[in-house]
Amino acid sequence: DRAGARRVRSRRRGRPVTPRLVWVDVFASAPLTGNPLAVVLEADGWETERMRSLAAELGLSETVFALPPAAGGDAALRIFTPASELPVAGHPVVGAAWVLHHAGRAPARARLETGAGPLEVRVRGEVATMEQPPPRRGPEVDAAEVAAALGTAAAPAPAARVWSTGVPQLMLPVPGVAALEGVRPDHPALERLGERDGWLGVSAFAVEGDGGGRLRARVRHFAPRLGVPEDPVTGSAAGALGACLADAGHGEGDHLELVVDQRTAAGRGGEVAVRVDRGGGAPARVRVGGRVTPVLEGILTLP
């Protein structure tokens, strides 16, 4: 529980600790699938440059550094890609929630402090979920221009638009799974377009249909501005896609249930469960989650 986590933190005060690295796969359908994540525990006192350098050394799409809370939460997180720091991101928060809980550092229902504010997370067995920052509807962009940079064609609806659940992501519909599999991105062109239009990554997606009360979508995601040419499976983009599709009228009544199946050209990826609740006819609350599987643990011997 929350009190237990605070007791663990109090026992650590006043004695030196060795930083540990826990490697997990997030949104994984089986071991060695999903999106790899490194979570560094005991990163108290680390300078930003050291965090940035380790994230670049590891080369994963994101590395998380868990720190003592500063605003009444259970832990604070800093999130780095190989190229920059992010205020928040989906698979790092989901993976860190699972790691912190299983390490005895946070309760099953916790609040994690991020650059986008405190976020509620829950862990139950192999599954972790997070509530994302409120969805924001951004500007529409030239779909044909972005599709050309991806080496594919754009579908007519919904509109190619920037959506954010903490990270601005462009949602680009394509005509079907074949068009998605045929994507051949021009990364420098995508960087230029993202810089100009204010987005950090682009999700090319195809809605596959409704099964068992849940909408399914196939996705490929590219974020060269963050040093991530193609991401295996992206929680922030999955939440943004849920907001996009809920805004377009998908779902039943006041909510949308969505399964995002995201994979790279090489086949690495996994699934994200997304729920979007509407308020006043617009997407108002987004939660994402999925399975987390441990891969390895180690100690860091940096001086």
What residues act catalytically?
Answer: 62
Q: Tell me, what DSSP letter sits at residue 234?
A: -
The token pair at 160 is 């190619």
C-alpha to C-alpha distance for 126 and 130, rounded to whole angstroms: 14
How many other C-beta atoms are found inside a 10 Å radius of the C-beta of residue 249?
8
Specify the residue for token string 């940079």.
Answer: 149
Residue type, position 34, single letter: G
Q: Which helix (DSSP H) or strand (DSSP E) does residue 143 occupy?
A: helix 143-150
Burial of 267 (0-12, 13-18, 19+ CB in 10 A): exposed
C-alpha to C-alpha distance for 141 and 67, rounded to whole angstroms: 38
Q: Which of 52, 62, 53 is nearest to 93 (CA)?
A: 62
Q: Which of 214, 201, 196 is nearest to 261 (CA)?
A: 214
Specify the residue for token string 């609806």.
Answer: 157
Phi, psi (rounded to 5 degrees) for 210: -100, 125
Q: Tell me, what DSSP letter sits at residue 281?
A: T
The token pair at 137 is 């509807």
Q: Tell me, what DSSP letter sits at residue 266?
A: T
How many other C-beta atoms are found inside a 10 Å radius of the C-beta of residue 53?
13
Say whether 240 sits in a helix, a strand or coil. helix
Q: Measured on CA atoms in the order 186, 195, 244, 132, is the torsion positive or negative?
A: positive
